[in-house]
Amino acid sequence: MGVAEIEEKGFEETLKPEVVEKGRCFLCGTCVSFCPFEVLSMGARGPELVDTCLKCGNCYSVCPAYEFDEKAVEEFAFGRSRKPDEEFGVYRSIVLARSKDPEVLKVCQDGGVVSTLLRYLLGSGKTGLSVLSGVKKEQPWLPEPRIVLSGSEVLECAGSRYSYTTNMMFNMGTAALLGFLEGSRAAFVGLPCQVRAVRKVQMLPIEELGWAKAIGPVIGLFCTETFDYEGFMAFLKERVGLSPEEVVKMNIKKGRMYFYPREGEPKSVRVKELAEFVRDGCKTCTDFSAELADISVGSLGLEGWNVVIIRSELGEEVFKGAVEAGLLETRDISEEPGVMDILLRLVRMKRKRAPKEKENP
């Protein structure tokens, strides 16, 4: 990875006291991946120094939890910052959408928009590869970063895992470099905190590596929180009475988490019962709708449909392309009357939940 401008400050003056020790680390791993001297390693609460910090400034320049200048990032990503009434960030349009691809509909989480967009991008040669989250074979429901090159690999990664994967940014760095060398682009799918990290990486002043040009489009997922993997899996076995291996799908609807076993009826618990497994960094996170992505996708409890927020010119071009190729069907958001209220409620709830003193230093 490249080196940013030489700075006075290093890890010990920035991320350690302001992010890790304040319990604000999202564990995204971006700082570790972008330390050019490889002196950071990921610990349980966040990055730790394993050798002398050379104070190059990369780690805190890419950290989504440190000095995040939202206005500057919005200017970079969208050419303008949000208007006062854009509570869930800059956007061009918001629609309901669903995949028309039968292969996607068999495996997707909600309406399959994310997988369909990725298959469209790869199939049409608009991107050479995509970075997303797959599943660890030996540990079901543990997300694992994946670089995928084909539409069939996209299908293997469909569905939502409600735990977290740390090394997404390492893959993003590799993919962007590969994409740059091949003259193609790498699409990215991630949670709002990961999208924030991607934007900061794109803004690093390392022109010759061409990060900005090699990444895109960035597809963000709506996110309320993720759960500590070990605790969540133990809860699944002990409280729900299902083993991780026999669960084929998990989903959150109207305040309950549903677990669908391979055979038999789904079981559910109130999401509130999982509160003790919510990761510390998530409690400080203010971004529900992936406000800095080119396209943000969630479901807000709709059965088999996605709510899609199209934010940038690139996002619009990609979404329109997939619709025109006959891969997606759309409906007007007004056809589901309560949806905008739910979106605003969740956006506000997440901002309110984050302790004020723990917001950006």
DSSP state of 81: P
Q: Indicate which single residue of 68, 78, 164, 180 sits in contact with ligand SF4 (rule: CB under 6 A).
A: 164
Per CB under 6 A, 151 contacts ligand SF4: no
Closest approach, Cβ 106 to ligand SF4, in A, equals 27
Which amino acid, residue 100?
K
Question: Which helix (DSSP H) or strand (DSSP E) does residue 78 occupy?
Answer: helix 70-78
Q: Which residues pair with 329 in a beta bridge?
A: 98
Per CB under 6 A, 109 contacts ligand FAD: yes
Q: Indicate which single residue of 95, 168, 187, 191 sits in contact with ligand SF4 (rule: CB under 6 A).
A: 191
Q: If contact means CB under 5 to 8 A according to the sort of partner, which of ligand FAD, ligand SF4, none does residue 282 touch?
A: ligand SF4
> What would the x/- binding string for ligand FAD be over residues 212 to 231, using CB under 6 A?
---------xxxx-x-----
81 versus 174: smaller Cβ distance to ligand FAD = 174
Q: Indicate which single residue of 18, 57, 117, 299 sits in contact with ligand SF4 (rule: CB under 6 A).
A: 57
**Residues of span 305-324 touching ligand FAD by CB under 6 A:** 306
Closest approach, Cβ 12 to ligand SF4, in A, equals 8
What residue number has its CB nearest to ligand FAD? 298
Closest approach, Cβ 197 to ligand SF4, in A, equals 6
C-alpha 127: how far from its chain's center? 18
Q: What is the dihedral of CA 59, 63, 69, 74, to 10 degrees?
A: 120
How far CA 288 is from CA of 44, 102, 282, 296, in Å, comes to 24, 29, 10, 10
Prior bond of 84 cis (ω within 30°): no
What would the 3-class secondary structure string for 217-234 be?
A: EEEEECCCCCECHHHHHH
Contacts of 43 (CB under 8 A, 6+ apart): none
Q: How many CA atoms does the CB half-sphere of 108 hold within 13 Å?
A: 26
Residue range at the interface with ligand SF4 (CB under 6 A); choices 102-110, 203-211, 223-231, 291-299: 223-231
Per CB under 6 A, 34 contacts ligand FAD: no
Residue 214, both tokens: 């090699």
4 versus 104: smaller Cβ distance to ligand FAD = 104
DSSP three-state, residue 213: helix
Q: If contact means CB under 5 to 8 A according to the sort of partner, which of ligand FAD, ligand SF4, none does residue 216 touch?
A: none
Distance CA 348, CA 192 (A): 15
Distance CA 84, CA 338 (A): 22
Q: Are 310 and 290 in contact (CB under 8 A)?
A: no
Size of the site for ligand FAD (CB under 6 A): 32
Q: Which residues bind ligand SF4 (CB under 6 A)?
A: 10-11, 15, 19, 25-31, 35, 37, 39-40, 46-47, 53-59, 63-65, 164, 191-193, 223, 225-226, 281-282, 285, 287
Q: Which residues bind ligand FAD (CB under 6 A)?
A: 108-115, 132-133, 143, 157-162, 165, 189-191, 221-224, 226, 252, 297-300, 306
